[in-house]
Amino acid sequence: MIKLAESPRLFVTREIRERLRQLPADPFLRRLQRRVTRAANEYAGSASAEYDPGGYNAHLIRSRLFQKRIWTLLAEYVRTGGERFRDAVVAHVRAMAGWEYWSWIRWREKNPDPESIFDLSYGESGATLALAWDLLEDNLSAEERELFIETARARVLRPFLRETSESSPGCTNWFCHPHTNWNTVCAGGGGMLALVMYEHVPEAKEVFARAEKSIAVLIRKGLKSCGGGWPEGTGYWNYAFRYAFLYLLSCENATGRRHPLMRLRQLRECLEFPQVFCPNGRAAGFNDNDRWAPLPFHLAAARALGRDDVLHSLSGVMRSEEPDPGRPKWPYDFVCWPYSALLLMFYPRRRPRAPRPRRDVLRIYPEMDWGVFADRLPGPGFCVTVRGGSTRVPHANRDLLSWNLVVGEETFVRGVQHAPYLDSTFGSRRWELYDLSPHAKNTVLINGVGLAHPGAVRTAVADLGAGLRGIRMDATGTTGPSRGDGPLARFCGRLFVVLQGRALLVVDRVSANFSTLLESRLHTPRRVMLGENGAVLAGRKHRVEVSYACSVPAGLFRAEDAPAWPEAGECSTMLRWVTAAREREVAMATLLTADVRGSVEVVPEGRGYAVRTVVGREKTTLRLTAKLKGRRR
């Protein structure tokens, strides 16, 4: 039995309640407040939300829309004390209690048993209900209290216990899983509700204990093993850690002491992960949903963990680029989550001083094997991200060896992304989707196919001499078989090197057991001007030259991408650098130079290769072994 504070017990602390009641002097916050007031007045008029009941994950979308409505109404109730907002929250909770199905999965199966699953809809709705009880408990009638308590027991706490019991076949899907957003969404939502119902519902104590156990595995094991990275990518980092931090901040307010997980280094480190793989707000990550834009919880987490550098950069972005549902760069989540209400609560009244940027960053996230080059962080002018690791992670694409390039605020190289989700996205035919296949990624194809799935690629920093360092990837064990008579390749590797902070050299090397066709492929959303052995990618402010070379004859070809839903994403062009004939020993080079001329040459040299580059007036010669390691001169 733990001792818990009186309400407010969750993340809307007394300090935040006082802040909401004060008229902010900052014009930005005043605009936010007016937006919250307008929305609350609208939501007070009806306890229903418009959504497409036949759409993908419709019941989860409905849960988010109700969270947006209820938490916005709560913010206005705290600010004004208006009973009509309190009444509207109760009416919305009553509507939730009357839903026949909370889960889209069970709706499709026509199974209305509320205890047959505990999925994302349950987790999000549990969090919604928890904050409503926490802020209204002292102002509810006996009948309304019974409504909240019975809904909590029947629709959240009991299903949670059944799902996480050892006898449940579903518990292994997310409970105590180290690398899935389902863990923190489900355990975080259920755990917050258990915190506020701790003395009122007998099941709450065990739900709280299991939620603690589940989230601890993700942070202590999963997050630590990846050095603060998140293998599901940036979009799912937002989702997973939104509920993780709201839960942890709630625990600290409820107990009056530091949560042990908030003391861990990997939790502090993870706060910068989305900005690393979304430089200057441009998606440059991997796997499903690599989009990212800051959410208000991130501000609260940065403040709680003393990351003033993160708090400074986040608050600047959120102030200058407020979400607008009409602008496609903002994720749909802003439309159906309470962004404005939480931003009004968490936005810092005083922005911290700008930290000194880190220069010439080269970092690899352990176990994930994702890497990044950046001339500076945050706010890089030239940033390259690379994808090693495994395809045995949730939401993986077949994008091993892939990479992205962002120059300033413009994306120049980025694989095709899969959006929006379709029924086939998470079905048995997932890998037939072009968007998820190697053909849609910036990777290597051997005989027209990418690396095998499941597969893994190890990533390491390469010391190349003369003060140069790169990122080397070894994919030899993942090339797959060749007609059933042995592995396709004796060696398959890729080397990335940044030169003069404004050029990227990519060297591909394949030693095949049989004659093969080798292709190095990249995709760009920029306007392309094609040459014989190169191309120019024209952006709004920047211009990138692409130069190609090969140890054997090769040709450059242009093609158009074919995403599953053509109108849903960015139109992109494919550049294909392909050997002219089938070969057994090949070294290819791709040089990309930003706002400067460049050229590249690959010359066989003994058992290795010399790769000669010109970037502006700077000449560099890399001497490499046949396995893309630095070779002594």
Q: Is the peptide bond before 420 cis (omega within 30 degrees of 0)?
A: yes
- 116: region left, alpha or beta (phi > 0 left; psi from -120 to 50 alpha): alpha
Helix (H, G, I), strand (E, B) or coil at 278: coil
Output the pLDDT for position 91: 98
Sign, CA torsion 280/282/284/286: positive
Query: How many angstroms from the chain centroid is the CA of residue 204?
Result: 31
User: Which residue intervals of the chain bear CATH 2.70.98.70?
Assistant: 360-624
Q: What is the pLDDT of residues 20-57, one digit of tens each?
A: 999 899 999 999 999 999 999 999 999 999 999 989 99
How is residue 206 written in tokens? 């065990």
Measuring CA to CA, which residue among 454, 471, 453 is closest to residue 403? 471
pLDDT range class, residue 105, cuts 50, 70, 90: very high
Q: What percent of the chain is predicted at pLDDT more than 70?
A: 96
What is the DSSP track for 74-140? HHHHHHH--HHHHHHHHHHHHHHHT-S-S-HHHHHHT---TTS---HHHHHHHHHHHHHHHHHGGG-
pLDDT range class, residue 7, cuts 50, 70, 90: confident
pLDDT range class, residue 283, cuts 50, 70, 90: very high
Measuring CA to CA, which residue among 599, 593, 601, 598 is closest to residue 623? 601
How is residue 57 written in tokens? 């994950």
pLDDT range class, residue 332, cuts 50, 70, 90: very low
Q: Are 43 and 82 in contact (CB under 8 A)?
A: no
Domain 360-624 is of which CATH architecture? Distorted Sandwich (2.70)
Give the contacts of 337 (CB within 8 A, at least 6 positions apart).
Answer: 64, 67, 68, 295
Q: What is the pLDDT of residues 346-385, one digit of tens each?
A: 999 888 899 899 999 999 999 999 999 999 999 999 999 9
Q: What is the pLDDT of residues 132-168, one digit of tens each?
A: 999 999 999 999 999 999 999 999 999 999 999 987 6
In Å, what is the CA distance from 479 to each residue of 257, 336, 464, 586? 51, 42, 25, 15
Output the pLDDT for position 325: 47
Q: What is the pLDDT of residues 541-569, one digit of tens each?
A: 999 999 999 999 999 999 999 999 887 66
Q: What is the pLDDT of residues 236-267, one digit of tens each?
A: 999 999 999 999 999 999 999 999 999 999 99
Q: Which CATH number fits domain 14-346: 3.40.640.10, 1.10.3720.10, 1.50.10.100, 1.20.1090.10?
A: 1.50.10.100
Q: DSSP secondary-structure letter at 169?
A: T
Q: How far apart are CA 395 and CA 180, in angstroms?
A: 9
Q: Are 190 and 164 in contact (CB under 8 A)?
A: no
Q: How far apart are CA 446 and CA 582, in angstroms?
A: 10
Query: In 517-572, where do the E strands start and end?
Result: 518-524, 527-530, 534-538, 543-550, 554-560
Q: DSSP secondary-structure letter at 47?
A: S
How is residue 42 written in tokens? 């609208």
Identify the bridge partners of residue 498 per DSSP, sorted by sequence position: 504
Measuring CA to CA, which residue among 430, 472, 473, 470 is closest to residue 454? 430
Q: Are 468 and 557 in contact (CB under 8 A)?
A: no
Q: How far apart are CA 441 and CA 401, in angstroms?
A: 9
pLDDT range class, residue 337, cuts 50, 70, 90: confident
Q: How far apart are CA 208 and CA 543, in angstroms?
A: 54
Report whether pLDDT(573) > 70.
yes
Q: What is the pLDDT of residues 438-450, one digit of tens each?
A: 999 999 999 999 9
Q: Are 533 and 585 in contact (CB under 8 A)?
A: no
Q: What is the pLDDT of residues 385-429, one digit of tens each?
A: 999 999 999 999 999 999 999 999 999 999 999 888 999 999 999
User: Which residue intervals of the chain bear CATH 1.50.10.100?
Assistant: 14-346
In Å, what is the CA distance from 283 to each residue of 248, 309, 313, 412, 597? 28, 21, 17, 11, 26
How is residue 623 written in tokens? 């001497």
> 41-54 in b/e burial notation, b at 16+ Cβ within 10 A?
eebbeebebebeee
Q: How far apart are CA 616 and CA 597, in angstroms?
A: 5
Q: What percent of the chain is predicted at pLDDT more than 90?
A: 87
Angle, CA of 155, 395 and 263, to the nearest 5°: 70
pLDDT, average across residues 47-71:
95
Report whether pLDDT(436) > 50.
yes
How is residue 8 written in tokens? 């407010």
How is residue 280 written in tokens? 């200057």
H, E, C per residue of 457-489: EEEEEEEEECCEEEEEEECHHHCCECCCCCECE
This prediction has a pTM of 0.95
Q: Which burial class, exposed, middle or buried, applies to 589 when counting CB atoms under 10 A from its CB (0-12, 13-18, 19+)?
A: buried
Q: How far apart are CA 115 and CA 591, in angstroms?
A: 56
Q: How far apart are CA 592 and CA 595, in angstroms?
A: 10
